[in-house]
């Protein structure tokens, strides 16, 4: 019985073994080529990612400022870029099977001919069709290969396994954003070429970023560029495979492009194909969402043209050019929306890369600077508005207390801490009003002696506290990476930054109260100071909204409310500055009866700018040479290798060239109000705050004031029913 069962089991095992052997013979011998080809098709998948268009940046009226327009990328499979033997062998096998290659040659011979002849010819033809030098295409190939190798090495370190990565089966863009003519020429070439039959070269739909008459907004709009390793690692969309940043992707690197990157960035599509280009998977790309600036593009361009054309002095009729760069900010006081953020001069959006070296070397106009938010200047007498509110709020002076102006603060040192009127005209404010200056008078006349006195009573810490309450020393809520915070020089700041003698001296409070010293602020901050005076509260500004109308950017800081009683004399004084004969900007009164302008002038002392230096260079053989250049980098760029050593440098040219009184920036800040507003009250209705600065412009009342007048009248006229 046992032997019978054993025989049955042996027979069963023998039958199974024979069946397996027969099947193996069928697979590995009789149909080996068929199954090998099938395995090749199943294992060789080409992944094509379809680029997604970025969203459009629009102004407050919905007009497009920067948008993607259709273009095309000329892409090449990674296996062809690198000449990978395994991939070329697969291509050779397919060519031989389809009759496109000699069947008498081996797979290796066909692949070798592909590498030596066809691919070399293809590179040359692509260079001709795209009108790009061959070396430029090769450099692009090398960058792609280096990037994929870095990804592969990173994957190996992370997993401990050295294996191919998915980027090795991708089509990579060799020529990006090609225009229609180039894309059509490549497509026609592919139609008559066997390369079209295989996933080697493709023309893939793409897009390029184009500005629409937006050069006056170029600093604000920002730019896109290659995603850095840091941006990829910090990407908030890293968990989304079709939205995350990958090496070589473009993303916003400055301005609104960077601020709104998660919104503007689209969702890339994906197509997976087998070797015969049969589609295995298809996901459409989704365009990014739009964002809306609070900026009125027409107003922005109009203010830019004012700077471009120069200004007309109130007492004259001839137009004069501005000496250097300028900036202007306009804010809707009720909503704190920024209506204009003008930086002059700017540059061409579409030729930035070609012009960059020239722009960087322009040390007089500095067109790359985003002045309204990234540059901080001494605020000059504009900060007297904050000093007055602080003095009244802390009770160190009353609204009606009168302080005499004798031309200088210290009787025993008449050449120090003097009033501007004494410096310019050798007179005093007491000569016009022997009773002295009260709070309103001090603002109207911008009397230094008054503010030296109340600033000394406040002291550095309390002055700085009030500066902070008015938004100095912190961002204003734009969310822009370029936004500077300026300097509020507290005792702690002085101890950390003042070098050998970090003591707080009585003169610090005197200086800070009228603007000199280390105090600095951006034009945006100072415009928001004017908005704060008008509204009675400090609030963060709004610059960008999404399609739902929500603010774009980090959470804003909280608002700060002020006592109306201490703002009243400041508002009256600012009204008198513009509308009362003898005020420091009385010639800039609005030329209309239904609205008025309140303001404060400022002339901030500034250091002359070094625009060229003299460099002494020493060569390896000991000889020396002198050259003048805008920077050390530019001096050395004139020579090949080996480069000389810079052993000394000195100032060769300053701007402005000469100024007997010392150069100063011209400031004006202010706001509009309906004419029926009672003087000193918070205005209601169409209230706009603004700041204007003209670098090295001198008098705020004579130079910056007329620009502010033009801005206010233009803005009100544009919104007239």
Residue 370 phi/psi, 5-degree rounding, is -95, 80
d(CA 608, CA 363): 12
| 3-state class (DSSP) for residue 151 | helix
Residue 164: what pLDDT?
82
pLDDT at residue 67 greater than cutoff 60: yes
- Dump the DSSP string for 308-323: HH-B--TT----B--S
| Residue 353 counted as domain residue | no
| Residue 615 counted as domain residue | yes
| Residue 468 counted as domain residue | no
| Residue 157 counted as domain residue | yes
pLDDT at residue 503 greater than cutoff 80: yes
| Distances from the Cα of 3 to the Cα of 9, 10, 15, 16, 17, angstroms | 10, 11, 19, 20, 21
User: Of the residues 599, 620, 651, which one is the last residue of a structural domain?
Assistant: 651
Q: In the 8-state DSSP scheme, what is residue 683?
A: P
| Residue 29 counted as domain residue | no
pLDDT at residue 142 greater than cutoff 70: yes
d(CA 399, CA 392): 7
- Computed over every residue of the chain, the mean pLDDT equals 87
Residue 172: what pLDDT?
85
Domain range for 201 is: 46-293
Residue 442 phi/psi, 5-degree rounding, is -65, -40
Residue 152: what pLDDT?
86
Give the model's confidence band at 114: pLDDT under 50 very low, under 70 low, under 90 confident, else very high. confident
Residue 123: what pLDDT?
85
| 3-state class (DSSP) for residue 175 | strand
d(CA 259, CA 266): 15
What tokens were used for 372? Answer: 């309204």
d(CA 184, CA 129): 10
d(CA 704, CA 10): 107
User: Of the residues 250, 271, 293, which one is the last residue of a structural domain?
Assistant: 293
d(CA 464, CA 383): 11
pLDDT at residue 387 greater than cutoff 60: yes
pLDDT at residue 104 greater than cutoff 60: yes
Place of tokens 């204003």: 476
d(CA 133, CA 283): 35
Tell me the pLDDT tens digit for each residue of 476-498.
999 999 999 999 999 899 988 88
| Residue 277 counted as domain residue | yes
CA dihedral 66, 72, 73, 76 (to 10 degrees): 170
Pairing of strands 645-655, 279-283: unpaired
What tokens were used for 94? Answer: 């397919």
d(CA 509, CA 516): 10
Residue 25: what pLDDT?
59
pLDDT at residue 500 greater than cutoff 80: no
What tokens were used for 435? Answer: 């009773």
- Dump the DSSP string for 25-91: HIIIIITHHHHHHHHHHHH--EEEEEPPPPPPEE-TT--EEEEEEEEEEEEEEHHHHHT-HHHHHHH
Number of domains the chain is built from: 2
| Residue 261 counted as domain residue | yes
Q: In the 8-state DSSP scheme, what is residue 558?
A: P
| 3-state class (DSSP) for residue 138 | helix
Among 195-209, 286-300, 392-406, where is mean pLDDT lowest?
195-209
Among 211-225, 265-279, 447-461, where is mean pLDDT lowest?
265-279
CA angle 61, 67, 69 (to 5 degrees): 135
Residues 6+ apart with CB under 8 A from 638: 627, 629
User: Of the residues 651, 668, 701, which one is the last residue of a structural domain?
Assistant: 651
pLDDT at residue 153 greater than cutoff 90: no
CATH number of the domain residue 68 falls in: 3.90.1310.10
Q: Which tops the pLDDT comparison, 439 or 277?
A: 439
Other CB atoms within 10 A of residue 473 CB: 20
Q: Which tops the pLDDT comparison, 384 or 109?
A: 384
Residue 595: what pLDDT?
94
Among 28-42, 171-185, 363-377, where is mean pLDDT lowest?
28-42
Residue 110: what pLDDT?
81
Which residues are 408's β-sheet partners? 418
Residue 407 phi/psi, 5-degree rounding, is 95, -30
Residue 329: what pLDDT?
98
- Dump the DSSP string for 317-368: ---B--SS-EEEEEEETTT-BEEEEEEES---STTHHHHHHHHHH-TTT-TT
pTM (2 d.p.):
0.82
Give the model's confidence band at 31: pLDDT under 50 very low, under 70 low, under 90 confident, else very high. low
d(CA 360, CA 413): 45
Q: Considering just the CA atoms, what is the radius of gyration of the chain in Å?
A: 35
| 3-state class (DSSP) for residue 144 | helix
| Residue 113 counted as domain residue | yes
**Element (DSSP H or E) covering residue 639:** none
Which range of 106-110, 155-159, 444-448 scores highest in mean pLDDT? It is 444-448
Q: What share of the chain is helix, strand, coil (3-state, %, to 5)?
A: 40, 20, 35
Which range of 144-148, 204-208, 519-523 scores highest in mean pLDDT? It is 519-523
d(CA 574, CA 591): 17
């Amino acid at each position: 019985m046992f032997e019978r069962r054993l025989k049955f089991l042996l027979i069963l095992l023998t039958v199974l073994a024979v069946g397996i052997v027969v099947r193996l013979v069928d697979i590995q011998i009789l149909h080996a080529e068929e199954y090998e080809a099938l395995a090749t098709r199943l294992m060789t998948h080409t992944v094509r990612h379809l680029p997604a268009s970025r969203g459009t940046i629009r102004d407050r009226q919905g007009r497009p400022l920067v948008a993607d327009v259709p273009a095309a990328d000329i892409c090449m499979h990674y296996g062809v870029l690198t000449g990978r033997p395994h991939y070329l062998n697969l291509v050779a096998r397919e060519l031989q099977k389809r009759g496109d290659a000699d069947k008498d040659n081996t797979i290796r011979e066909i692949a070798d001919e592909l590498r030596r002849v066809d691919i070399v010819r293809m590179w040359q033809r692509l260079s001709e069709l795209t009108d790009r030098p061959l070396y430029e295409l090769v450099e692009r190939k090398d960058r792609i290969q280096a990037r994929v190798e870095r990804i592969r090495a990173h994957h190996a370190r992370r997993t401990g396994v050295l294996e191919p990565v998915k980027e090795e089966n991708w089509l990579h863009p060799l020529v990006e954003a090609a225009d229609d003519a180039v894309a059509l020429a490549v497509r026609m070439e592919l139609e008559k070429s066997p390369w079209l039959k295989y996933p080697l070269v493709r023309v893939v739909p793409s897009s390029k970023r184009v500005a629409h008459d937006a050069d006056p907004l170029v600093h604000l709009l920002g730019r896109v560029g290659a995603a850095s390793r840091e941006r990829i690692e910090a990407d908030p969309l890293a968990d989304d495979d079709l939205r995350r940043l990958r090496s070589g992707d473009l993303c916003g690197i400055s301005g609104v492009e960077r601020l709104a990157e998660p919104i503007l960035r689209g969702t890339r599509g994906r197509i997976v194909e087998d070797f015969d280009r049969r589609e295995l998977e298809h996901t459409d790309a989704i365009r990014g969402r739009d964002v809306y600036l609070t900026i009125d593009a027409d107003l922005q361009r109009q203010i830019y043209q004012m700077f471009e054309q120069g200004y007309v002095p109130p007492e004259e009729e001839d137009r004069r050019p501005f000496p250097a760069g300028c900036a202007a900010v306009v804010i809707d006081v009720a909503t704190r929306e920024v209506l204009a953020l003008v930086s002059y001069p700017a540059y061409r959006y579409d030729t930035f890369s070609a012009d960059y070296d020239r722009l960087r070397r322009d040390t007089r106009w500095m067109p790359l600077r985003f002045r309204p938010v990234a540059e901080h200047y001494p605020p000059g007498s504009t900060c007297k508005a904050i000093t007055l509110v602080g003095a009244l709020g802390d009770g160190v002076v009353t609204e009606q207390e009168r302080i005499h102006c004798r031309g200088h603060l210290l009787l025993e040192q008449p050449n120090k801490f003097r009033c501007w009127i004494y410096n310019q005209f050798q007179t005093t404010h007491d000569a016009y009003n022997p009773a002295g200056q009260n709070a309103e008078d001090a603002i109207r006349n911008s009397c230094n002696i008054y503010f030296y006195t109340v600033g000394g009573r406040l002291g550095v810490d309390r002055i700085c506290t009030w500066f902070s309450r008015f938004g100095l020393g912190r961002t204003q809520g734009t969310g822009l990476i370029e936004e500077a915070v300026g300097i509020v020089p507290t005792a702690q700041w002085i101890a950390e930054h003042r070098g050998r003698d970090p003591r707080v001296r009585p003169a610090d409070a005197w200086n800070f109260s009228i603007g000199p010293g280390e105090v600095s602020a951006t034009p945006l901050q100072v415009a928001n100071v004017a908005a704060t005076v008008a509204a009675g509260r400090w609030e963060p500004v709004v610059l960008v909204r999404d399609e739902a109308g929500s603010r774009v950017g980090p959470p804003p800081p909280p608002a700060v409310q002020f006592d109306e009683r201490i703002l009243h004399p400041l508002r009256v004084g600012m009204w008198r500055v513009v509308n009362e004969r003898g005020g420091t900007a009385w010639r800039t009164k609005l030329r209309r009866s239904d609205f008025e302008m309140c303001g404060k002038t400022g002339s901030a002392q500034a250091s002359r700018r070094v625009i060229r230096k003299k460099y002494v260079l020493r060569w390896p053989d000991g000889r020396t040479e002198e050259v003048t250049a805008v920077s050390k980098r530019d001096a050395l760029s004139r020579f090949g290798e080996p480069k000389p050593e810079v052993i000394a440098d000195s100032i060769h040219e300053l701007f402005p060239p000469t100024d007997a009184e010392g150069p100063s920036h011209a400031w004006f800040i202010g706001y509009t109000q309906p004419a029926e507003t009672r003087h000193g009250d918070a205005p209601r209705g169409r209230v706009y705050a603004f700041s204007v600065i003209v670098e090295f412009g001198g008098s705020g009342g004579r130079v910056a004031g007329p620009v502010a007048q033009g801005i206010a009248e233009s803005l009100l006229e544009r919104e007239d029913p």
